[in-house]
Amino acid sequence: MLNKVDVDGVVMPATYPELIGQTRDILDDIYIISPGVGIQGAKIGDAISHGADYEIIGRKICDNENPKNSAEHCYNRVINI
């Protein structure tokens, strides 16, 4: 299937990694950005491992007592995928 809507990317929930994978199979030439990591239930790295280009990890970092450590932990989890 071709990218007939001429978009550069989509936002897909990280809480549905299987859907991300299916979308990547169909539209391999777009960016997939996935929010919902941490507080909303998605595990760090799941969206990436299913084809997302970026995960949005907001409240898990910002609401933490030590945001710097939380951000470093998240980063280290993703680079080890």
Q: Domains in the chain, please, with CATH?
A: 9-79 (3.20.20.70)
Write out pLDDT tens, residues 10-26: 999 999 999 999 999 98
Q: Indicate yes or no: pTM above 0.85.
A: no
Helix (H) or strand (E) holding 80: none
Q: Distance between CA atoms of 14 and 61, rounded to whole angstroms?
A: 16
Main-chain dihedrals φ then ψ at residue 68, nearest 5 degrees: -65, -50
| Mean pLDDT computed over every residue of the chain | 89
Q: Distance between CA atoms of 76 and 16, rounded to whole angstroms?
A: 22
User: pLDDT tens string for the chain (81 positions)?
Assistant: 455 667 899 999 999 999 999 999 988 889 999 999 988 999 999 999 999 999 999 999 999 999 999 999 888 887 776
| Residue 77 confidence (pLDDT) | 82
